[in-house]
Amino acid sequence: MDYGIEDKDQETVVRLRGRLTFNDHAKLRALIREMLQTKAKRQVLDLSALEFVDSAGIGMLLIAREEMSNVDKLLILRAAAGQVKRVLTVAQLNKIVAIED
Amino acid sequence: MAPDRPPMDHHPMEQPRVAALHGLGVPPERLERLSAALQLPLWRRGDSATPTRGAATVLALLDGVDSAEAAESWARPIAAWIEVGTLSDAALGDAAGRARRADLFAFLTTATANHVQLAARIVRAITDLHPLPEAQRDDMELAFHEAVSNALVHGNLQVEGMKGLSVAALERFSQDLAARLADPAFANRRIEVAVWLEADGILVEVADEGPGYARPEHMEFGASGRGLDMIAAIAEELQLLDGGRRIRMRFPL
């Protein structure tokens, strides 16, 4: 998985690309650290270019949500498609995380 | 690894079966010795010889990850992959025997299976044999990936899931995973994947050499613990066998 961060006034948008699986633990740690350093309250993960996510990837997204919440930031998952959208549904993540189309 | 047979109701659509041997990074002398012992002629891609005709398939013996990375190493007519590693000729013969009973078969070390993303490779091999609609393929890849990840991470590497929802839990997981992958005693443990294509479904077994697993009655979800539930939501059948060291899944076609 790779990512690019765009820091705007109102929100930080992080675009994830590729496959997000248990092997991406180090990248997720780095990403969470970077997100915590930005100013915006709204932290948006743009999932439109993410091709595949597994249960550990979902777990790491939940860790990101929790870490943002601890510093009064809001994590939003945006524009999931295909397999990623399907997994978010199977895992019923909409009950826990803010999801936008 | 239990060398048992596929379930009683298994009716193969055809009898593909291993008809030749292909070496991927295996020293020539050993490859020739194994070719004689297994009574399988050697095959090279581009050969127009008999082995590639009809439903006949090729068993690839691999040594090291370099040769296992090329997409070509996972393409038809190769349908079985056995990593040589530290296996004796007798153990390789046993594994080849199990490969002959399945439509697709892989017997790799944990390190190699993780490195080559085994689940995605096998799903591609399945869809090469039997094209599937995208949504069905995606679901099967997820279930497959979860089963293989469980076998590698929790089974063979004995790394516990992420407990709690914190970066600290993620760091602990990172460190444990890296440490175990660097320890040959864990990283050389084997994963075995067997696939049988049936008339109306795909049967898959994934086995590991870990301490086993008992599904708890009640599970506290932290950042981990969703994999098996996801498989259950996707697969038509799900069974844990051999004390949790082997998972059997069935997907409708």
Q: Which residue from A101, A55, A53 is spatially nearest to A80, judged by alpha carbons?
A: A101
- Whole-model pTM: value is 0.91
Exposed / middle / buried, residue B12 (Cβ in 10 Å: 0-12, 13-18, 19+)? middle
Rounded to 10 degrees, the C-alpha dihedral A15/B169/A53/A69 comes to -50
Token digits of residue B116: 């080559």
CATH of the domain at A57: 3.30.750.24
Q: What's the CA gap between B225 and A59, in Å, rounded?
A: 9
- Per-residue pLDDT tens digits for B101-157: 999 999 999 999 999 999 999 999 999 999 999 999 999 999 999 999 999 999 999
Is the preceding peptide bond at B27 cis, omega within 30 degrees of 0? no
- Is beta strand A42-53 parallel, antiparallel or unpaired with respect to A11-20? parallel
B-chain CB neighbours of A66 within 8 Å are 165-166
How many domains in chain A? 1
Q: What is the largest CA-CA distance in chain A?
A: 33
Tell if the CB–CB gap between B162 and A63 is shorter than 8 Å. Answer: yes
3-class secondary structure, B70: coil
B134 touches chain A (CB under 8 A): yes
Tens of each residue's pLDDT in chain B, 253 residues: 444 545 544 444 445 589 999 999 999 999 999 999 999 999 988 876 555 455 789 999 999 888 889 999 999 999 999 999 999 999 999 999 999 999 999 999 999 999 999 999 999 999 999 999 999 999 999 999 999 999 999 999 999 999 889 999 999 999 999 999 999 999 999 999 999 999 999 999 999 999 998 887 776 667 787 899 899 999 999 999 999 999 999 999 8
Fill in the DSSP letter of residue B218. S
- Closest alpha carbon within chain B to A93: B226
Do residue B223 and residue A26 have CB atoms under 8 angstroms apart?
A: no
Cα B163–chain centre separation: 27
In this prediction, the answer to ipTM > 0.90 reads yes
Q: Return left, alpha or beta for A37; rule: phi > 0 is left, psi -120 to 50 is alpha, else beta.
A: alpha
**B18 to chain A, minimum CA–CA distance in Å?**
32
The DSSP output letter for B117 is T
> What range defines the domain where residue A87 resides?
2-100
Are B191 and B113 in contact, with CB atoms under 8 Å apart? Answer: yes
Could you say which residues from 51 to 90 on chain B have a Cβ atom under 8 Å away from some Cβ of chain A?
none
- Cα B233 to Cα B60, B139, B181: the distances in Å are 33, 9, 30
